[in-house]
Amino acid sequence: RNSRIIDRKIKSTDSSRCILKLLLSFCGNVMCLKSSFLSFYSFTQKYPPVKFLSEKDRKRILITGGAGFVGSHLTDKLMMDGHEVTVVDNFFTGRKRNVEHWIGHENFELINHDVVEPLYIEVDQIYHLASPASPPNYMYNPIKTLKTNTIGTLNMLGLAKRVGARLLLASTSEVYGDPEMHPQNEDYWGHVNPIGPRACYDEGKRVAETMCYAYMKQEGVEVRVARIFNTFGSRMHMNDGRVVSNFILQALQGEPLTVYGSGSQTRAFQYVSDLVNGLVSLMNSNISSPVNLGNPEEHTILEFAQLIKSLVGNRSHIQFLPEAQDDPQRRRPDIRKAKMLLGWEPVVPLEEGLNKTIQYFSRELEHQANNQYIPKPKAARMKKGRPRHN
């Protein structure tokens, strides 16, 4: 009887061991699942690779307008170089999506703030890009464009003075207005209509430059001024009526590519990564006078249309519309100063940049189609009642 009892005990101990083992293996599996889930989660949370910089080399950098087209690419570069980046944007034309891949990173901060209001933070460098840049955007609310470029720039210069930061102003080739001199070098004073529809932007940027040099002379603030020429690339606004975005949209949607006049007018476009490299090297240089950043390689509008049509590879045809009388015939930067003093020049070939932009636009079209919104290319911008190429 005793041996039977011992047998039963042994069996019951065996079965408890079994249950215990089962429980343990179940827990093990749960732990395994949990750790796989965690590693999957951290995998999905992965950020682009970031260099490690020592405390001495790591800078605290503010980018106003950092959620916009150029600003978000600049954010990528400075983050990947290992700096601490604070983006300030009021999301007028910028989008969180442009910088979402950095959200949560220990070196990154995004602040929803309008530069027309003062800002108090501690930084070493300020890239001041906040301003609508395309004509439909800056003409939408000219008073706000003026405030952003004047009061906004004063606020950022005030901040630079307070914390001893260096400020780089994203100025524009539009300070040269409708130029009487080709190509335009930095000594040209420009030909701007102070009361025309573009004046809110052109004159706003001219005053912003004036403010930079007043703060430099009177308060000793270190300033850098980049006069940026036409730039294109991913994250640019799809329907802002500019020639590159219009042609790409038209070609992707199988619509005719609209060329005003014979298409013999020339334009020069730089790819956004070239501009970003130029901005960073200007910021870190000792050149305080204005520097042109643009691609001097000129192409006719017709060449652009044909190239984009062939890169997209569909059957859209080119449609010629009546010539615009005051469409500038040539626009081209003189970049000898940037070459000589910064050792900078654009390196991305037009076709390569266009291919990347076309890929981005088609992904965006898909994304927007899924959200029931199909952007239409805008008619070329009107000037004196006539359309023209931007």
Ligand X SMILES: NC(=O)c1ccc[n+]([C@@H]2O[C@H](COP(=O)([O-])OP(=O)(O)OC[C@H]3O[C@@H](n4cnc5c(N)ncnc54)[C@H](O)[C@@H]3O)[C@@H](O)[C@H]2O)c1
Catalytic-role residue among 138, 201, 260, 271 = 201
Contacts 24+ apart (CB under 8 A), 367-374: 374/253
Residue 335 found at the interface with ligand X (CB under 6 A): no
Site for ligand X in 277-316 (CB under 6 A): none
Task: Choose between 59 and 198: whose C-beta lies nearer to ligand X.
Answer: 198
Residue 157 found at the interface with ligand X (CB under 6 A): no
By CB under 6 A, name the one of 69, 176, 247, 304 that touches ligand X. 69
* In contact, 332 and 183? CB cutoff 8 Å: yes
Give least dist CB 148 to ligand X, A.
Answer: 4
By CB under 6 A, name the one of 59, 61, 63, 65 that touches ligand X. 65
The footprint of ligand X on this chain (CB under 6 A) covers a number of residues equal to 29
**Span from 30-38, 128-136, 186-194, 243-251 in contact with ligand X (CB under 6 A):** 128-136
Known catalytic residue at 201: yes
- Strand pairing partners for 63? 87, 127
Task: Choose between 132 and 278: whose C-beta lies nearer to ligand X.
Answer: 132
Residue 70 found at the interface with ligand X (CB under 6 A): yes
Task: Choose between 70 and 259: whose C-beta lies nearer to ligand X.
Answer: 70
Give least dist CB 378 to ligand X, A.
Answer: 15
Residue 132 found at the interface with ligand X (CB under 6 A): yes
User: Residue for token digits 């009546």?
Assistant: 322
Site for ligand X in 71-100 (CB under 6 A): 71, 89-94
Site for ligand X in 25-64 (CB under 6 A): 64
Residue 67 found at the interface with ligand X (CB under 6 A): yes
Catalytic annotation, residues: 201
Chain positions contacting ligand X, by CB under 6 A: 64-65, 67-71, 89-94, 114-116, 129-133, 137, 148, 152, 170, 172, 228, 230-231
